[in-house]
Chains A and B, each alone.
Chain A
């Protein structure tokens, strides 16, 4: 299993490591304690939310943090829901652990594996553990060795393109041979993008797009 995970995960690892280094460096410069960074890397395991946590105003309440977290991470609900049909055959502890560690990258990697029929609970758990370990290593590395790390260098090497490109690949694979059944997807995408254009809220647009595609299929498809 490990060689397969390494082979499939390899394209994602540089991005995860580099982004982890950035988050670690930012945490160090904001004066976060190392144990808090480790807890944040394992417990939150999402770069945008971790960075947002560093910049929180002092007077923010717990309810404010919860609202911020929901706003930033609601897409994870759709991510874990979409891999459920593939991982539900595994034992409950493994399934929930795989779900608890799901990130953008592990979800994209799992979706590509699903296209090949290779996604199951063991795969999802393995790839989530691998990516989380690399994420943690990146965060800790960035905490101690942060000199010269900038988001611009991350962008220059095209590492930020990895998740969008894997998603483009997945969309193309998912639609191949199924174009006639894609009207719920098109409707969901139109609803999501319209919402984004009107309210400029990415999370709301993503969740709405998924919800419309789900409901259209569930209620109207025969």
Chain B
């Protein structure tokens, strides 16, 4: 129980610390752009890690992005990407 409470309190602290740090930093207007780029940098690293772990994500991500750029929308491109992943993992 004490372990669970410690983990919950620590996770809450991490989440709220992000808000507090961003709130403090963004008093400078430049920091807002920097936060946007930090978010993008994190996402590029995260995506590369995920693709490294499951190579079929590369094809699915290409389909999703291409569909979103060509036809617009979010839900349908995501659904198409998931169908591609499911097909790649289930078809012989």
Contact = CB atoms under 8 A, between A and B. Distances in A.
Q: Interface size class for chain B?
A: 35 or more
Interface in B7-47: 7-12, 14-19, 21-23, 26, 28, 30-47
Contacts of B6: 62, 65-66, 69
A218 B7 contact: no
Nearest to B61: A168
Interface residues of A, number: 87
The secondary structure that dominates the B interface is helix
A221 to B, nearest CB: 7
Given A161-B82, A171-B43, A8 B19 contact: no
A44 B11 contact: yes
Contacts of A76: 11, 14-15, 18
Contacts of B39: 78, 81-82, 111, 210
A157 interface: yes
A204 B12 CA distance: 19
A53 B4 CA distance: 7
A56 B1 CA distance: 12
Contact of B16 (A80, A158, A216): A80
A174 B43 CA distance: 11
Interface in B50-66: 50-51, 54, 57, 60-61, 64-65
Contacts of B89: 155-156, 158
A78 B4 contact: no
Interface in A116-167: 155-167
Contacts of A221: 30, 33-34
A56 B3 contact: yes
A165 B81 contact: yes
A95 interface: yes
11 contacts: A39-B8, A44-B7, A45-B11, A53-B4, A80-B22, A85-B35, A88-B26, A166-B74, A174-B36, A215-B34, A217-B30
Interface of A: 7-8, 10-11, 36, 39-40, 43-46, 49, 53, 56, 60, 62, 65-66, 68-70, 73-82, 84-85, 88, 95-96, 99-100, 102, 111-112, 155-176, 182, 184-185, 187-189, 192-193, 196, 202, 205-207, 209-218, 221
